[in-house]
Structures are given as structure tokens and as C-alpha cells.
Structure 1
Amino acid sequence: MINNSKSSWQDLPLRIVSALVIIPIALFCIIYGQWFFIGLLCIISVAMTVEWANLFKKKLSNYRVAVFLIWPLIAYAAVIKGMWWPAILIVGWAPFIFGPQLWLGSVVIGGAGISLLWLRFMTASEMHPVIFIVIVVIASDSFAYIAGKTFGGPKLIPSVSPGKTWSGAFGGLIGAGCVGSIIVGYLCGGLYTAYIGGAIFGMVTGIVAQIGDLLESKLKRELGVKDSGKIIPGHGGVLDRFDALLFVSIFVALISCVLPADKSLDKWGGSLLSTKTVGDQQPIFLPLTIIR
């Protein structure tokens, strides 16, 4: 979310071109799932861990850093075998051996990866929760960008990110709410309550997305860097592009795990995040595999 009404729109063409390349590839992998989705997730995760290590000026030739770069993939391998709790321990506890800086990267990047695998393969709606969060995050970012550039106004948190404005923040929430309402309402067959539920959940998701964006901005500001990388024209690095999605993925996956297993929230769009069950148990407690 880059909101500076005083600046020009000169980076907009690059952002559009990047989106036209990234979005179709991502949607293809999300829709077809299986190894397409897992492969894309692995590539993005490794790219983000490389950028994370570079942020803290860690030498990639160091064997501990080299292991850190593929650490999320070890957790994903555990997930593929249905070992969800070991995977969570791999990204949340074991990385202390890398030190606090790299440990934090493992928690955020690896945790988001596990969350996306959970949403894609362990929810009853399968691809739809992932598509929902991707589109809502894009809407939040795009509407924030447009509103911030158009209206400008007071800065949101200038000490963290001088370019972000309150108008951009509100624009992002409106965009996330509208898109969330449309997606959930459509998936639930046009129930008016689902449109309301989708709008509320979309806005909450938009808030989490903006928090994730601000946290990465604060980290970069403290480290004295502008972008985590330069691989994506108009956006910077992979972390710059997916910072909001990291936090949103974890948040939405946690929500899906605590929703009631019955149908009580279906009319509000709760079916979007309902988890698959075996018998009367929720799958998080069962060693299910995600690849058949």
C-alpha cells in the first residue's frame, strides 16, 4: 500500500504490467492445485527467505543461512505427509538455531506457507479461500494506492511509512469490503446475509493486510532499506509484494480452525472457511495427507 498523493503516477504502468504477469500464473496454480500450487509456493518461499536474509545482511554462503533458505520447504514436506503439528514446530520452534532475526523470518514466511497449504487443501471450499484472500489483498492494496494518490491528506503513521495516508487506508478498507462481499455473496448463491458477512470479513482481512504492510515498512525503516529487493518492477522485492498476504494467510487459516464445524454460519458465508472433516473430528487433529 503506497499512498502519496504528492508523487506522480509514474510507477503505475510497471505495477499494472507486473500484475498482468503475476496474477494469471498465481490463479492457474491456485485453481489447479496439487503440485502446481505447491511448486509455486516453494519458489516464492525460497525467494522471500533469500530477501529476508539479505535484509539482515546475512551471508548466503554461510551454511546456517543456506539451511535457513530451504527451511520452509522442510515444513511443507511434513505437511504433504499430513504432519501438521510437526510442520508448525519446524517453522515456529526449531528455527531458534538460526538466531532471533532468521527465526522471525521462519515464523512469518513458513507460517504463511503452511497456512496457504491448509486453506487450499484442508478447507471444504479448497481453492476459494485462497482466491478470496489473494483478491481481497489485491483490492486493498489497489484501492489504497488509488485513494492515497487521488486524495492525499494526513499521513497514517509517518514515523513508520511516510507515504501512507488515512485516505489510502480507508480506501483500502472500502475496496477490501466491496470485493469480499461480492466474492462471498456469489459463492453462497446470492444470500444477502452472505454479502454482509463477506463485506465484514473482507474489511477485517483488509485491516490485517494493512497491519502486515506497516510491519514490513517498520522493519525496513529500522534496517535502513527502501525495498527488500528489485525483482518485481513497480513493487520491489517479493517480500514487498507479498508482505500483506503473509499475515492475512496466517490470520485466515487460524479463523478456519476455530469456526464451528456445524452449518450455523453458512448463511453468513462461513462455509467459505469450513474445514474438511473425517467423521466428527476436525482435520487439524488427524494425520491426513494433502496429496492423493
Structure 2
Amino acid sequence: MSSKLDIYTTKRRGRITNMLFTSVCFLATITCVLMLVVLIWNIIVQGKDWLSWDFIDHLPSRFAHKAGIKSALWGSIWLISLTALFSVPLGVGAALYLEEYAPRSRWRKLIQLNIANLAGVPSIVYGILGLGLFVRALQLKGSVLSGALTLTLVVLPIIILASQEALRSVPDSIRRSAYALGATRWQTVWYQVLPASLPGIMTGVILSLSRALGEAAPLIAVGALAYVPFVPEKLSDEFTALPIQIFIWTSRPQEEFHHLAAAGILVLLVVLVSMNAIAIFVRHKYGKKIRW
């Protein structure tokens, strides 16, 4: 009788603990969501009246009513395009080698450990590395190319890890079936494994590039300028970016520039949400085509 009572008491305590933990997690989630909604609503209220086509098409100015984000927007487009061009082939290629070709050895474990550690390094550290390597050692100065290469360092470990997880999610039965039909390792990887892991890889790539688009610290470290009165046209041009332009406007004492910063944040949010929506669409579209 006593043992049954102890079991009942233990189960009851477990249910109570589970309910309390669930309630705390729910309360924390609701608090974070409400704070995010309040912040976004505050930004919308401050920036909606300043958001217009002239704001997007005009260059920065000392006068708030003439200021725009054209050079910053095109600078961000240049940066994210070059970052994708550099980081995607390197990241996906490194993940393919580590998962499909590299032997299971201590050297591979060491490389894997370092990649995981690099994914958690603050972005300003990569900015300092980019300053020493690209700006000074390679004499690229504060150009679009040096900024893109620095952002490539920021997102490359994340792309590698995301691609590895996508490749691991492919069942080994697909590989064994391809080998049984006489396919080589390269044919198996290219025609079977890579298409099957494409949704996960694309999602990781787009989310990583979304992070790069919102980075300001590494770009400031490599010498991105606060005021650029022109649109970059070649890799050696100086540049600015949306996060830097927003930071500069928020540091100005005039209230009008704070409204401009809010409008710039809205533009940046639209771009980020669009990229995340593309990631969701890619996963949904290609995920339906793949049946294991």
C-alpha cells in the first residue's frame, strides 16, 4: 500500500513539475513575442511617414528631408551577392568533403571541432581579421570586395554546419542503392545525395546570408564609410550598408534622423523577411518532391 502511495505521489509531483515548467516556458515565449511586437510597432509608427520611393531612390544627405538609402541599399546588395558567390561554393563543397569523402580520423574531428567553434565567434572578431588580412595585407582597402570577403568569413562556418546536417539527414539506403546499381561515389553524391539534401542546404544558406545582411560590426572594422554619396559600381569602390546607415542616423541628435532610421529598419526588415520566406518556400517546394 505504501509503495502504491509513493508511486502516486511521485507521478503527481512529476505532473505538477511538468505543468510549472510548461507554464514558465510559455510565459517566457509570450513575453519575448510581446516585446518584439512592441518594438516593431514602435518602428512602424516612427518610420511609416518617411517611407517612400524618394527615400529609397535618394542618396544620403545632411538634410533629413533630402536623405535616402540608395547607396546603402545598393551597397548591401553588392555585399550579399558577393558573399553568396564566395561562401556558398566553399561552404557546400567543404561540407560534401567532410561528410562524403573525408575518412573518419582524428584530423577530421579536429577540423569539425574548429568549425563548430568558429560558428560561435563574435562577428567583430572576423571584422578584425578582415582588417588585418584583406584591408592591410592584401591591400584591398575599404572596398566592397574586402567587406564581402569579411562577411564570407562570418557565414562560412554556419553554412558548412547547416550543409553537413542536411547531408546527414539523407538515409544511407540511398547511397547503398546507388552503389548497388554501379554508380561511382561522385555520381551518388551529385545525382542522389545532393538533390535530397538541397532543401536543408538552401535553407541554411539563405538564413546565413540573412545574418550577413544585418551585420554592422565587421563592416565598420574593415572601414565601411558612414557617408557614401554614390552607388558602388566596381569591386574596388568604397561602400556603406543598411545597418551602418541606420546606426549613423540613430546617433544623430535630430529627431528627423531617428525617423529616417526607423524607415531604414523597415526596409531592412522587408528584405530579411523576404529572404526567410524564400527559404521556407524552397524547403516546402523541394521537400515535397523528395520521398525516401
Q: What's the TM-score once normalised by structure 1's chain length? A: 0.32
Q: Report which of the two has the higher share of helix.
A: 2
Q: What's the TM-score once normalised by structure 2's chain length? A: 0.32
